């Protein structure tokens, strides 16, 4: 099954890390390139299942560039 972002439902996700024990993957950390959400696939469904997450937390179809920035961008190095 293809992994999608739990928040914006984009297929543009990348595996960032895997937790291993005895050669077995126990969990993975994923990152969404479209909305910057990062999650571990062992988190509860309320955090990582788009069908269970609260509607107010979802960003499918949202123009992310139009959202207000809560944290100002860092200055560029000079």
List interacting residues with Zn ion (CB under 5 A): 5, 7-8, 10, 32, 34-35, 37
Work out how close the CB of 66 gets to Zn ion at its nearest, in angstroms, rounded to a whole number.
16
Work out how close the CB of 39 gets to Zn ion at its nearest, in angstroms, rounded to a whole number.
10
Work out how close the CB of 42 gets to Zn ion at its nearest, in angstroms, rounded to a whole number.
18
Dihedral (CA of 65, 32, 50, 44) sign: negative
Tell me, rounded to whole angstroms, the distance of Cα 33 from its chain centroid.
8
Q: Of 22, 1, 9, which is closest to residue 51 (Cα–Cα)? A: 9
C-beta closer to Zn ion: residue 5 or 48? 5
């Amino acid at each position: 099954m293809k992994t999608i972002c739990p928040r914006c439902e984009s297929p543009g996700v990348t595996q960032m890390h895997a937790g291993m024990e005895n050669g077995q993957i126990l969990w993975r950390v994923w990152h969404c390139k479209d909305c910057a959400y990062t999650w571990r696939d062992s988190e509860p469904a309320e955090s990582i299942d788009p069908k269970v997450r609260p509607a107010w937390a979802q960003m499918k179809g949202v123009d992310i560039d139009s959202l207000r920035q809560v944290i100002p961008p860092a200055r560029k190095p000079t």
